[in-house]
Structure 1
Amino acid sequence: MEPVEPFLGPLHDVAVAFTGLTGVPVDLPNALFLRARLAGLPLPGRVSAGGSCHLLETADGWAAVNLARPDDLAAVPALVALLGGAGMEEPHGAARRAAAADVAAHAQLLGIAAAAHGSARGTRAPVRAERGGAASPRGPAGLRIVDFSALWAGPLCARLLGAAGARIVKVESTTRPDGARRGSPAFYRWLHDGHESLVLDFASGAPAEVVAEADVVIEASRPRALRRLGIHAEEFLAARPGRVWLSITGYGRDEDRIAFGDDAAVAGGLTGLDRAGDPVFLGDALADPVTGVFAAHAVARSLVGGGGELLSLSMAACAAALTDSR
């Protein structure tokens, strides 16, 4: 199986740039591989290291379908039916008669994270910045960063900014805690050590109050979900100079498609090759930590440049940035 290292040149450059801005070194081996080591995950192949994402051969290529949640598994018969399968046919068989883009589109229609291999390459920059407020240059040290994100990409960004002296406040819902809590406790502690933790009733208005006190917000939600809570990125940025809003999504804030680390990596073409020359997964949900490093650098660079920006990061585009460099 092809190693990860040949893809890492652009990520190393981003990590070095972050260090130049903050003085904080980025330990890329731990950022990328610590979770797999601590959890004892196997090497991936056609199935991801975590076991939920599957590479399916299609009529014209390959597609990743990520069955990460119970609802995803329950939707598999409907996916097979949409692909023209019959009875108890397995998704692998139905997928071979369909185009990769159709497999991904049908899965996404059912709420399953899925992507055609390489479909995000050359589609957009990893980071898009939009001016939303006045500038006031400063570094991360001493700033209050409110982190609404979960799992890996956003929390890794918060960890790096916390190492640069920011005060991190992790916010979770009473009804929907961070799914990473169900994984390795040691890895969760590594991500969140030293951070303040708030568990809030999101229906109470408390999240908006926490945001009002922040200098930087990290989130990984669809914009409409936060608006329903009375939280608006545009109002946050306009209210005080120098603020930064970081939005991490699978494909950008203007896309409703969901993504997790493994399928986003496949969308970006961040895969290896087996002996037959066919794609296999690389590492463990690589688009997550790759995006986390890109995100930390984007926030640090924005703050030093004055802030007042909404930063939109696409996990698939961050993965593609590594692939496109080869």
Structure 2
Amino acid sequence: MTAPLLLDAIADDARRIAALSRDMGRHVSIDPEMLLQRDIALQPPGLWSPNRHCRLVQARDGWMAVNLARQDDLASVAAWLECDDADAPWDAVIGLVKERATADLLERSILLGMPVSVVGEAPLAQASELHPATRPERALKVLDLSALWAGPLCGALLADAGLEVTKVQDPARPDPTAVATPVHHQRLNGRKSHVSMTLASSAVGAALDRCDVLITSARPHALARLGLTPDAVFDRHPQLIWVAITAHGFMGDNAMRVGFGDDTAAAGGLISRVDGAPSFLGDALADPLTGLRAAHLALRAIVEARAGLIDVALASSAADFARRAGLR
């Protein structure tokens, strides 16, 4: 059951979004409980996340969240822990992490590109530095290059607010939600226009020329290969709002870190305590909370006629909601 104070914090952001959308001539209504749902078989939260891909484990000097959702992560356990138990990765994690220091484990996981975090490590979210902008009289256009949950949810809420949102699907890297969670996918992307486009093609630049808001969920080095760097984008599109959603931040030392909804929720301290041990509160909570926060920040930038890069990290968004829910 979701913590009541967390639902209160979500409802508070929902009211802010409703007020901003009314200023734009629409009314966006958000059900806090529904915001956190997706059509997937789940187990009760505890040391294991409800989807059973992430586990809270105790290291020598603290608790960590280890997320082995991808085959690459399972295959990296032996190198991460310098062991031979490649055939039983979870046994190795549970048995060996307790002998190691969190700092060493975190450093090695980052080098290997694994979604691992220390519980409560994430700083609170910082305000983005935006500059004044001029908005066109027409309906604003959004280019949604994101995937999975947080970015598409941001786009869905912007569509509810009356923006024209185009969801880009790269045929080489399709968004897995359409197959894995079709009802959830429809809720996130059903109100958007859809185009199939290779992200490495010049068509992305042409599409960007026609949009007012850009949503991404890739790390900066991947976007840089597409020519999407802050300098290049804002030199050409100074009036653009770029919502950059990442695990631990688009700028700075953590920009290369990998993370998903459960491990970044733990990084933000969005967990409960049961007999002194941490416990997950829900399913990949950092994802919907980040999507909500990103939409709020984007709508506020539109209403206030501001532009620039809105850096929205899953971990720091979780930390912000954890603070507001009295969990840190």
Q: Which residue matches 1:130?
A: 129
Q: Which residue matches 2:180?
A: 183
**Identity of matched residues, %:** 36
Residues 271/124 of structure 1: CA separation in 2 closer, same or farther (3 Å cut):
closer
CA contact (8 A) 1:9 1:322 kept: no
* 1:235 CA displacement: 4.1
CA contact (8 A) 2:7 2:33 kept: no
Q: Which residue matches 1:92?
A: 94
5+ residue gaps, structure 2: 22-26
Could you list the structure 1 runs, at least 4 aligned residues long, displaced by more than 6 angstroms after superposition: none
1:171-215 per-residue CA deviation (whole Å, 9 max, x = no partner) reads 122211112233211111111112111221233222121111111
CA contact (8 A) 1:134 1:240 kept: no
Greater CA deviation, 228-237 or 152-161? 228-237
Report SS of the residue matched to 2:166: strand
Distance 2:7 2:311 in 1: 22
1:212-291 to structure 2, matched below 5 A, reads 212-240=209-237, 242-254=239-251, 255-274=255-274, 276-291=275-290
* 1:227 CA displacement: 2.3
Residues 224/106 of structure 1: CA separation in 2 closer, same or farther (3 Å cut):
closer
Query: TM-score by structure 2 length?
Result: 0.89
Distance 2:293 2:47 in 1: 27
1:122-201 to structure 2, matched below 5 A, reads 123-125=123-125, 127-131=126-130, 134-137=132-135, 142-201=139-198
1:228-268 per-residue CA deviation (whole Å, 9 max, x = no partner) reads 21233344444456421100111111221111000000000
Report SS of the residue matched to 2:269: coil
Q: Which residue matches 1:52?
A: 53
Which letter does structure 2 place at the counterpart of 1:41? L
Q: Which residue matches 1:70?
A: 71
Greater CA deviation, 39-48 or 309-318? 39-48
Greater CA deviation, 234-243 or 305-314? 234-243
Report SS of the residue matched to 2:221: helix
Which letter does structure 2 place at the counterpart of 1:157? C
Report SS of the residue matched to 1:30: helix
Distance 2:13 2:235 in 1: 28
Which letter does structure 2 place at the counterpart of 1:279? P
Q: Out of 14, 30, 33, which is 1:29 matched to?
A: 33
5+ residue gaps, structure 1: none
Of structures 1 and 2, the one with the larger relative CO (CA 8 A, separation 6+) is 1
Distance 1:241 1:201 in 2: 25
* 1:104 CA displacement: 2.5
Greater CA deviation, 171-180 or 159-168? 171-180
Which letter does structure 1 place at the counterpart of 2:256? D
Distance 1:158 1:109 in 2: 31
1:1-55 per-residue CA deviation (whole Å, 9 max, x = no partner) reads x7422233333222211111002122211111x21xx223121221111121111
Query: TM-score by structure 1 length?
Result: 0.89
* 1:157 CA displacement: 0.6
CA contact (8 A) 2:143 2:208 kept: yes
Residues 262/116 of structure 1: CA separation in 2 closer, same or farther (3 Å cut):
same
* 1:288 CA displacement: 0.2
* 1:80 CA displacement: 2.0
CA contact (8 A) 1:134 1:238 kept: no
Report SS of the residue matched to 1:79: helix
CA contact (8 A) 1:172 1:198 kept: yes
Distance 1:211 1:263 in 2: 32
RMSD (CA atoms): 2.1
* 1:152 CA displacement: 0.4
Distance 1:215 1:12 in 2: 27
* 1:305 CA displacement: 0.9
